[in-house]
Structures are given as C-alpha cells and as structure tokens.
C-alpha cells in the first residue's frame, strides 16, 4: 500500500538545488544542502587520508538520492532472504541496481570533468 510523501525542495539564489526534506509514513529524509566542494589532486580521500591545503571538500550534511535507493534495495534484498522472495522483488532489485549504476556513472563523468562536488554542469 502506498501512502505517499510530502516534499519541499529548496534552491539557492542562483536557482541551484539546495537541499530540502521529504517525509512519509515511517521515514524522514533531509537532503544534502549545498555542494560538497572539491578535493585537490593531493588529497587522498579514497584511502581515508588527509586532505591537502586548499581542499574545499565538506562532509555531507544530508542524504543523497543514491543512499536512499541503496536503502530501498537493501530492504528488498532482505525480503529475498525470507519466505517473501519472488521474481517481482528480483526485477525491482535489478531496476534499483540499474538506477544506482547510472547515478554512479554520472558521478564518475563529473569527476573526470573536475566538476563533481560543484554546481557546475
């Protein structure tokens, strides 16, 4: 049964996405508010290492769409380990995994163009 949700999406003075909230029965999401900024070439975040001087990267302050999709997929994977496992759940998981792959590909492209973590296109 679908109960729906209520969302409020914010924009900054330049018309860029700037966080927001989404609520529904049993959940509340506070979306990432503002860009994260960029690491410098000398940073080693993949290794959980320190950032170099001049790094503008910030810690996330809200959820990302990828995280919410991943949470939904995790719940369906749980169903698949129970007596509720079924082909429709498997298909739903395939679609969620495809959505995550597309969003990760978008991030990789933005990283390659050095615009990830910014409002640049």
The pair of structure tokens assigned to 47 is 């290794």
One domain for residues 37 and 78: no
Q: Give the end of a domain, one of 63, 94, 111.
A: 63
Q: What's the domain count of the chain? A: 2
One domain for residues 41 and 76: no
Measured CA to CA in angstroms, residue 62 lies from 22, 33, 78, 94, 117 at distances of 11, 6, 25, 26, 14
Contact 62, 30 (CB under 8 A): yes
**Percentage of residues in the chain with pLDDT exceeding 90?**
63
One domain for residues 55 and 7: yes
One domain for residues 28 and 70: no
For range 25-42, the mean pLDDT: 88
Contact 21, 40 (CB under 8 A): no
One domain for residues 53 and 72: no
For range 105-112, the mean pLDDT: 88
List, for residues 35-74, the tens digit of each pLDDT value: 888 777 777 665 555 677 778 788 899 999 999 999 999 9
List, for residues 5-22, the tens digit of each pLDDT value: 999 999 999 999 999 999
CA dihedral 77, 102, 39, 28 (to 10 degrees): -50
CA gap 19, 22 in Å, rounded: 10
One domain for residues 6 and 52: yes
One domain for residues 51 and 76: no
For range 25-43, the mean pLDDT: 87
Q: Domain range holding 107?
A: 64-121
């Amino acid at each position: 049964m679908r109960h729906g949700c209520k969302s409020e999406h914010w924009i900054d003075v330049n018309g860029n996405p700037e966080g927001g909230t989404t609520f529904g029965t049993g959940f509340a999401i506070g979306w990432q508010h503002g860009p994260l900024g960029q690491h410098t070439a000398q940073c080693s975040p993949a290794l959980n290492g320190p950032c170099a001087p001049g790094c503008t990267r910030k810690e996330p302050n809200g959820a990302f769409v990828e995280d919410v999709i991943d949470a939904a997929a995790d719940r369906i994977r749980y169903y698949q380990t129970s007596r509720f496992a079924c082909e429709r759940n498997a298909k739903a998981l395939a679609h969620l995994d495809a959505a995550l792959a597309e969003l990760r590909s978008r991030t990789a492209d933005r990283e390659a163009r050095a615009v990830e973590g910014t409002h640049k296109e």
